[in-house]
Structure 1
Amino acid sequence: MVLDHLPVCFYAQICSSELLDVTSEGISFHDDWPYAIHLLGHLYVDDCDSARFLWKTIPSSVKESKPEVVAAWRIGQKLLTRDYAGVYEAIRGYDWSQETKDMVAAFSDVYRKRMFQLLMSAYSTITIRDLALFLGMTEDDATTYVVKNGWIVDTASQMVTVKKQAFKREQKVDSSKLQRLAEYVFHLEH
């Protein structure tokens, strides 16, 4: 199975599909399966349930002989327990293989963006220390990161004021367009 040069979001889907094909043909799991990449692919697309299911199906012999698979699952465990800082610790706490480094870097980037969006929607102010934990950065790097996004830092109080994203108003759809769409769908069904 060739995984090079594919968008990261397709890794989990491709791995799951290939794994189903292999098992449906009566072929057992093999030690060469890219379990770490498969797990990371599910985590990348924010599908922790599929990652957990995959982890449960991985043979014990693989878990015992492939520490990178265990390291990938450690990230999943941190996600499931909402240990935000622990996710970054799990990422940095393992010396990833060359084949897995790009996937880990891509996951780390998308995870940081998710955390930034979470902070933006959940907080109006946050301490620089907590900000750094959520973003997996040093306090200086986290401060620089959010200032670039328009947040305001008060170094005296060590607090950051979150810049809320402007909400876009939904465009109202003309009822005549909805009627035509409904008629078209009805025509297709009959």
Structure 2
Amino acid sequence: MDLSPIQNAVASGSYATIADACDELMLQVASRGIAYQEDWPFTVHLLGHIFANDLNSARFLWKSIPQGLKESKPELVAAWRIGQCLWTRDYAGVYDAIRGFEWSPEVAGLITAFSENYTKKMFQLLSSAYSTIGVADVAHFLGMSEDEATNYALQHGWTLDSSSKMLTVKKPKIITEQKLDPSKLQRLTEYVFHLEH
């Protein structure tokens, strides 16, 4: 079995393509009547779906993995723990699951990239959901210490009221699209038509 497309995606940091590459290769292997092998990169495959925020596919993959492999591969179980925390919206648990395992060099870059993306996503959610929020809550949602969370928020333009330990959110700029008024389009069409004739 040629795993080079998957290995190349991991090596090049093309983490968003890993799940699709794994799914495609898995279908090719299955179409030839070849059963799963123990060397299949289940951990990378599972993390690829988690990275792509495709929790349904991650769940179905997890259910399809033979129980013996789950029991013999602690890194696979640790990857699934991240998926479980995402599924149950246990925000702090995601970070605990990431930090709670000594990841192999093969997936360490993928885990780091996922963690950074997840932190950015959580920060964007906080930015859109709150106008003020406590430092402890930001630390909880970002999986950081209170000092780290405060520094992170301040770097992104938020302000701190140190007496109340409350952060004031800098709202993201909302980009509004200009809608074309149909009557203006009609007038323009008539004008162009008039010029041509």
Equivalent residue letter for 1:163: K
Answer yes or no: is the 8 Å Cα contact 2:136–2:146 preserved in 1: yes
Aligned to 2:120: 113
Q: What is the CA-CA distance between 1:10 and the residue it aligns to?
A: 0.4
Paired residue type of 2:68 = S
Corresponding residue to 1:124 among 127, 131, 142: 131
Alignment match, 1:5: 12
Q: Of the candidates 17, 23, 28, which is equivalent to residue 16 of structure 1?
A: 23
| Matched AA of 2:76 | V
Q: 1:87 to 1:131 in 2, by over 3 A?
A: same
Could you list the structure 1 runs, at least 4 aligned residues long, displaced by more than 4 angstroms after superposition: 173-176
Q: Which amino acid aligns with 2:102?
A: D
Q: Which structure's CA Rg is the greater one?
A: 2
Q: Within the alignment, does 1:157 sit opposite 2:164 as a pair?
A: yes
SS at match of 2:12: coil
Query: What's the TM-score once normalised by structure 2's chain length?
Result: 0.86
Give the drift of 1:133: 1.1
Letter matched to residue 37 of structure 2? H
Matching of residue 100 in structure 1 with residue 107 in structure 2: yes
Q: Secondary structure at the match of 1:170?
A: coil
Residue 81 of structure 1 is matched in structure 2 by 88
Among candidates 142, 153, 158, match of residue 146 of structure 1? 153
Residue 169 of structure 1 aligns to a residue in which SS?
coil
Q: C-alpha root-mean-square deviation of aligned residues, in Å? A: 1.4
In the alignment, structure 2 segments of 5+ residues that lack a partner are: 186-197
Structure 1 residue 172: deviation in Å? 2.5
Counterparts of 1:130 and 1:151 in 2: how far apart (Å)? Answer: 14
Quote the sequence identity (%).
Answer: 54
**TM superposition score normalised by structure 1:** 0.89
Aligned to 2:176: 169
CA distance in 1, matches of 2:107, 2:66: 20
Deviation at 1:174, TM superposition (A): 7.2
Aligned residue number for residue 187 of structure 1: none
Deviation at 1:171, TM superposition (A): 2.6
User: Could you give the per-residue CA deviations for residues 139-175 of structure 1, whole angstroms, max 9, x where no partner exists?
Assistant: 1111111111111111110111111111111133475
Amino acid at match of 1:71: A
Bigger drift between 71-80 and 158-167 goes to: 158-167
SS in structure 1 of the partner of residue 133 of structure 2 = strand
> Which of these residues, 74, 80, 102, is aligned with residue 67 of structure 1?
74
The count of corresponding residues between Structure 1 and Structure 2 is 177
